[in-house]
Structure 1
Amino acid sequence: MRPIRFATAALATAALSLPLAATSAAADAPSDLRTAPRAKDQHERLRSAAPDGFYVGTAVAGGGHHLEQDYPDPFTSDREYRKILGQQFNSVSAENQMKWEFIHPERDRYDFEAADAIADFADRHRQVVRGHTLLWHSQNPEWLEQGDFSKEELRSILKEHITTVVGRYAGRIQQWDVANEIFDEQGNLRAEENIWIRELGPEIIADAFRWAHEADPEALLFFNDYGVEDDNAKSDAYYALTQELIAEGVPVHGFSAQAHLSTRYGFPGGLEENLRRFDELGLETAITELDVRMDLPESGVPTDAQLEQQADYYQRTLSACLAVEDCNSFTIWGFTDKYSWVPVFFEGEGSATVMTEDFARKPAFHALYNTLLDAKKKDCKKHWKGWKKDWRR
């Protein structure tokens, strides 16, 4: 085996270490539970509103399409962005920085600089980290996709990668998306697109979970995909595969729906029921990449009605997760339109996050905050009643 070189130069800790301070208030929104801004809006923090044991997170902008934009890396260069990132969330996910093309750019070299910076930031701000992702058909480096490897070499490459990356962050990453987007919309394995499944067969999926578990026995290991919010062919395929793997003793711990939604389409009304059926298998569930894009008017500014519909989608997604016992992780895919991936990949659509480009809070932000706060109050009342009942005994 060739020697492995690690690029681990740390980003300046002082530049990324910021105090928890308040942000500016958002504009007024319609006054109901989903969207009403409360008094002293600038002090509202999603992480503080969340019930105990519930993680509300965001993707950390960087890598990917950001490299082609006319701004420097958001996470390392935008102080206001980092301040809000630390204030609002108790969970973070690397948007691109832990994907193969960034963390393993050459066969014998890993580059952990960006991923380390995110993990260090999370440590300083008392946040957990979701690792994303280990086995995927997309964003693989050229050396891997165009290499002439035997099956034995490919298997060794994947095992080494999972062991090295997961092992490096053992004890620091709460959840890993082990297998990402392995089924198509018809519920068939992506056998042609996915180099691992194509060359090594579907059995490699179970091996990936086993290797990840060996590298960090404490991390929760997930299947993750888009288009699985409802009970459909794709989510059925995950349901069947998960049952098979559990029966075989494979360490699969969770199933997560990305939830990249659009107001072009109706809300996935079966979300709660779909998450619950995985929960009943004994799995954790999660929402991992929520955003709600919309068709923008010529002005580029969404209407009040569009913002209200978007807030409704955010609120209903969060409520579905909160209603399922072991749905304990809820992540939005970026919190500001300034760095959203949506306009780059969906022409004519945008305004998909909970804050504008200048970090003003949209009705969707208040929808999440008020729903979390309401759930926290109910949770406190339930515990209070239980304590009083026990005390009286």
Structure 2
Amino acid sequence: MVYTASCRTMNFEGLVLAGIFLATQHGAAFGQHRYSEAAQPSHNTPFSPDASLVRLKDLARKFDVFIGTASNAQYIRRDKEYVRILNEQFSLVTPENACKWTAIRPNEETFDFTDCDFVLAMAEANQQTVRGHNLCWGIHNPDWLAKYDKNSSALRSLLVDHITRVGKRYAGRVYSWDFVNEAVLKPTENGTYLKTNVWYPAIPDIIDLAFKTIHSIDRSAKLFYNDYGYEVINSKSDAIHRMVKTMLLNNVPVHGIGMEAHFFIHNDDGSHTEERLIDGDHKLGSPVPADWSSVEDNFRRFIDLGLEIHITEMDVSIPSITKYFLEKQADVYRNLLKICLKFAPMCKSFETWEFVDKYSWRTGEPDYFDDNYKPKPCFFAVADTLNTTVPVTNG
């Protein structure tokens, strides 16, 4: 269940949020945003420049699928255009950084929920569903956590306490959690499929412990394992499939998988500016699948386990802003969405990690809107796919 502002007691910050929400609608009612000639996509589209800009979330309703995005507290506070498009286009919102350990736990003694509360309240005021991100990750943790390295009992206690405190605060307000994030190796090494980090192997049952703890606190939330680089059938997706299948056999409450879908498009010579690594093996994107049928087959085998699939962090980085690469970028959005809709509503969410290029964590203009909030061909590719695809009916 997701609460709206109308069924919550409004404190001062809630009143401020409501003011922001109403201000963004003044002079720009839903469905009435028009785009200029300069904002036309570089390819043919069924949406005329004289028509109102369509809302993706409305087009997706017939599939019972969320159109989502990550959103950032600092951008909400300072950028009205960001808020307006966020509210108009998206039915699901994930706090980009505000609910991570680094934001909530600045020191061992303090829980700071300021930004996490802020993003949730803004989403609730706009009647958007909230996806939580994340409660257990091996990197981007606060520096103080490192002093407990290899201290199994202390780390176990800290993790359970953190999950309990955060889980209770947002119980009933978060539809789903990217609960454990990016824990699986690529490729598998040393006879295990889990990365070595502050949590593992100090807590050998880290995955099961985390999922069981949050489920005991909030049985309404759907719990997801979230990772990158396993959109196709490969060694990493094989490892994740084995892991979640084992979890299900052991009655661990896992409800779905999150596929991040960070992609990059190569230059014709094979070069790309974003092949540097972070966290050892973490490329800032995966190459575009050479065979989209492998993506479809991969979806099918997870869904056959009874799991939902959410596209959680999609973006597509291109090497240059040209008509050619913008259209290739649009094709990637279109192809992945078509596969998701084929399995809808078991593929339940199609979400980008931010939606405007100037605020992306990546270079390469990866999002729906350019730096000036003009919609790009990938936006219209998604709109056209939602508009023209006929929902699959069982039986």
TM-score range, shorter chain: 0.7 to 0.9
1:289 to 292, 313, 316: 313
Q: Does 1:86 align with 2:92?
A: no
User: Deviations for 1:236-278, whole angstroms, at most 9, x for unmatched residues?
Assistant: 1110011111111000110121000011233352222111110
* Counterpart-to-counterpart distance in 2, 1:321 and 1:280: 14
Say yes or no: does 1:158 pair with 2:159.
yes
With normalisation by structure 2, the TM-score equals: 0.83
Residues 1:324 and 2:343 are matched in the alignment: yes
The match for 1:304 is: 323
State the match for 1:42 in structure 2.
Answer: 52
* Alpha-carbon distance, 1:161 to partner: 0.7
Does the residue aligned with 1:251 lie in a helix, a strand or coil? Answer: coil
2:43 equivalent to 1:30 = yes
CA distance in 2, matches of 1:198, 1:101: 21
Q: Indicate if the aligned counterparts of 1:10 and 1:113 stay in contact, CA closer than 8 A.
A: no
Q: Is the 8 A contact 1:132 1:177 kept in 2?
A: yes
**Equivalent in 221, 234, 237 of residue 219 of structure 1:** 221
In 2, Cα distance between equivalents of 1:79 and 1:282 = 41
Aligned residue pairs total: 349
Aligned residue for 2:302? 278
* Kept in 2: contact 1:187–1:236 (CA 8 A): no
Matched, 1:369 2:383: yes
Secondary structure at the aligned position of 1:42 is classed as coil
Q: Matched residues in 2 for 1:168 and 1:259: separation?
A: 30
8 Å contact kept, 1:9–1:113: no
Counterpart amino acid of residue 349 in structure 2: S
Name the CA shift for 1:41/1:364 in 2 (closer, same or farther; >3 Å).
farther
Q: Which moved more, 1:89-98 or 1:38-47?
A: 38-47
SS in 1 for 2:185: coil
Bigger shift: residues 14-23 or 257-266: 14-23
Give the superposition deviation at 1:190. 7.0
- Residues 28-177 of structure 1 mapped to structure 2, 5 A cutoff: 28-31=41-44, 35-38=45-48, 40-52=50-62, 53-62=64-73, 73-147=74-148, 150-177=151-178
Work out whether residues 98 and 115 of structure 2, in 8 Å CA contact, stay in contact via their aligned partners in 1: yes
1 CA distance for matches of 2:296 and 2:109? 44
CA distance, structure 2, for counterparts of residue 267 and residue 98 of structure 1 = 31
Q: Which residue of 2 aligns with 1:70?
A: none
Distance 1:146 1:356, change over 3 A: same
Which whole-Å CA distance do the structure 1 matches of 2:388 and 2:140 have between them? 39
SS in 2 for 1:17: helix
Work out which of the residue numbers 341, 353, 368 in structure 1 matches 2:367. 353
Q: Are the aligned partners of 1:23 and 1:84 in contact in 2 as well (CA < 8 Å)? A: no
| Residue segments in structure 2 that go unaligned for 5+ positions in a row | 1-10, 267-286
Q: Which amino acid aligns with 2:55?
A: R
In 1, Cα distance between equivalents of 2:299 and 2:78:
37
Greater alpha carbon shift after TM alignment, 42-51 vs 303-312: 42-51
Deviation string 1:169-212 (CA, Å, 9 cap, x unpaired) is: 111111101111111211345756421113111x1210100011
Structure 1: runs of 5+ lacking an equivalent: 1-7, 63-72, 297-301, 344-349, 387-393
* Aligned-partner SS, 1:158: helix
Q: Find the residue that maps to 2:135 and give its secondary structure.
A: strand
Shift of 1:77: 0.7
- CA apart distance, 1:39: 5.6
Letter paired with 1:283: L
Name the aligned partner's letter for residue 314 of structure 2.
L
- The TM-score normalised by the length of structure 1 is 0.84
How much identity, in percent, do the aligned residues show? 36
The one of 334, 348, 357 equivalent to 1:315 is: 334
Residues 207 and 275 of structure 1: is their aligned pair in 2 closer, same or farther, counting only changes over 3 Å?
same
CA drift of 1:162 comes to 0.8
* Secondary structure of 1:111's aligned partner: coil
Which amino acid in 2 is paired with 1:16? I
- Please give the root-mean-square deviation of Cα atoms over the aligned residues, in Å: 2.2
For residues 160 and 267 of structure 1, do their structure 2 counterparts lie closer, same or farther at Cα, with a shift above 3 Å needed? Answer: same
CA distance in 2, matches of 1:314, 1:196: 35
Contact conserved, 1:55 with 1:329, CA < 8 A, in 2? yes
CA shift in 2, pair 1:229/1:382, >3 Å: closer
Give the aligned partner of residue 346 of structure 1. Answer: none
Deviations 1:43-94 (A, max 9, x none): 31001111342100001035xxxxxxxxxx2121101100110000000011
- Structure 1 distance, partners of 2:311, 2:42, is 25
1:206-246: CA deviations, max 9, x gaps?
01000111121011101111101001111111100111111
In the alignment, the residues of structure 2 paired with residue 15 and residue 193 of structure 1 have an alpha-carbon distance, to the nearest angstrom, of 46
Structure 1 position 36, deviation (Å): 4.3
Would the alpha carbon gap of residues 141 and 28 (structure 1) be closer, same or farther in structure 2, given more than 3 Å must change? closer
Alignment-derived partner of residue 194 in structure 1: 197
Change (3 A) 1:140 1:177: same
The letter for the 1-side match of 2:332 is: Y
Letter in 2 for 1:198: P
Distance 1:59 1:282 in 2: 26
For 2:335, the aligned partner's letter is: R
Q: Are 1:28 and 1:37, in contact at CA under 8 Å, matched by a contact in 2? A: no
Cα contact 2:18–2:125 (8 A) shared by 1: no
